[in-house]
């Protein structure tokens, strides 16, 4: 059982929901990555998603794209990120999930990548441009070392495919709440709630909602329909603007989320 499974078992025992902030590694300099991870855990994050900057981030909205460009301009590399995450693991106890596209993995080498993130204590990996049909190139290798491949479903994913995707792995299922890119404001409507209800009804894994979530009301509302939320663009924005009080306030909603069952 890796840290992701343990985290959700603990959340389940306390009738709590997960709050998973996303941050872009290297935005603001790679030397601040460890401190930011420590800060997010201190503020109450259930797990942390760490983004790898990439020149063609097809799933990312403007805020995260700009953060990725700043990180690349700072000379951030996948190797450097993994090295910093290995340092962070000595001080951060919650799950760390790496979000990267396929190209950086290919450039690094699949076998070397799997070995490196395992040695760094990374618990999960999200690869948004990896389809279910292609995942055999890396999923078994990740499974062998106990790193969970976190899979995604969207509002346009057919029910049978949701069943197929959710039957794999032991981490959580990422339910994308919009039909576009990250940072796009979500429509809190019956169609979205119906989608989350369908995913929850079929998934044996915890279901987290993400994309376009940026305020307390959305977090609280969506948490009624799933096991927690992933918040990205808002976290990236607050770090970039050095608004630590607002960041702390946003993550403090975890206490309110623990009252939801």
In the chain, where are the structural domains located? Answer: 3-249
Q: Give residues with Cβ within 8 angstroms of 155, minimum separation 6.
A: 176, 177, 178, 179, 191, 192, 195
Q: Is 60 a catalytic residue?
A: yes
Q: Residue 101: its pLDDT value, please? A: 94
Round the average pLDDT of the chain to a whole number and report it. 91
What is the per-residue pLDDT for 212? 81
Mean pLDDT of 231-255: 91
Average the pLDDT over 225-254 and give the result: 93
Which pLDDT does position 189 carry in this prediction?
Answer: 74
The predicted model gives 49-56 an average pLDDT of 92
Task: Name the catalytic one among 49, 84, 123, 214.
Answer: 49
Per-residue pLDDT band for 186 (boundaries 50, 70, 90) equals low
Question: 3-class DSSP state for residue 149?
Answer: strand
Q: What is the CATH number of domain 3-249?
A: 3.20.20.70
Residue 181's φ and ψ, nearest 5 degrees, are: -100, 170
At residue 180, does pLDDT exceed 60?
no
Worst-scoring range by mean pLDDT, 113-122, 191-200, 215-224? Answer: 215-224
| Whole-number CA gyration radius for the chain | 17
> What pLDDT is attached to residue 124?
97
Q: 60, 84, 123, 237: which is the annotated catalytic residue?
A: 60
CB 49 within 8 A of CB 94: no
**pLDDT surpassing 70 at residue 45:** yes
**DSSP code per residue over 43-97:** HT-SSEEEEPP-S--TT--HHHHHHHHHHHHTT--HHHHHHHHHHHTTT--S-EE
Mean pLDDT for the stretch of residues 2-13 = 94
Query: What value does the mean pLDDT take over residues 45-52?
Result: 97
Model-wide pTM > 0.85: yes
Would you state the structure tokens that stand for residue 157, as one six-digit string? 């994913």
- Residues 6 or more apart from 2 whose CB is under 8 A from it? 95, 123, 124, 146, 147, 148, 170
Region 190-217: mean pLDDT is: 91
Asked if pLDDT for residue 236 goes beyond 70, the answer is: yes
89-119 confidence digits (pLDDT tens): 999 999 999 999 999 999 999 999 999 999 9
How sure is the predictor about 3, in pLDDT bands with cuts at 50, 70 and 90? very high
Average pLDDT for 216-240? 93
Place of tokens 């009252």: 259
62 versus 127: the higher-pLDDT residue is: 127
Q: Is 49 a catalytic residue?
A: yes
Between residues 187 and 58, which one has the greater pLDDT? 58
């Amino acid at each position: 059982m890796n840290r992701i499974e343990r985290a959700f078992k603990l959340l389940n025992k306390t009738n709590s929901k997960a709050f998973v902030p996303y941050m872009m590694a290297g935005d603001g300099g790679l030397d601040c990555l460890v401190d930011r991870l420590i800060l997010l855990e201190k503020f109450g994050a259930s797990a942390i998603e760490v983004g790898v900057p990439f020149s063609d981030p097809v799933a990312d909205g403007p805020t995260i794209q700009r953060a990725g460009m700043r990180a690349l301009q700072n000379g951030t590399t996948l190797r450097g990120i993994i090295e910093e995450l290995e340092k962070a693991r000595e001080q951060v106890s919650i799950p760390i999930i790496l979000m990267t596209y396929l190209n950086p993995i290919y450039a690094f080498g699949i076998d070397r990548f799997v070995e490196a993130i395992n040695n760094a204590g990374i618990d999960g990996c999200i690869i948004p441009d990896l389809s279910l049909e292609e995942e055999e190139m890396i999923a078994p290798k990740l499974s062998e070392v106990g790193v969970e491949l976190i899979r995604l479903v969207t509002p346009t994913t057919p029910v049978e495919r949701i069943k197929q995707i959710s039957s794999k792995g032991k981490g959580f299922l990422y339910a994308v709440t919009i039909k576009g890119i990250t940072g796009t404001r979500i429509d809190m409507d019956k169609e979205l709630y119906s989608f989350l209800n369908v995913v929850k009804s079929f998934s044996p894994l915890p279901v987290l909602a993400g994309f376009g979530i940026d305020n307390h009301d959305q977090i609280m509302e969506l948490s009624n329909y799933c096991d927690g939320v992933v918040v990205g663009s808002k976290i990236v924005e607050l770090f970039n603007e050095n608004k630590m009080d607002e960041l702390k306030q946003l993550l403090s909603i975890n206490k309110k989320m623990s009252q939801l069952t």
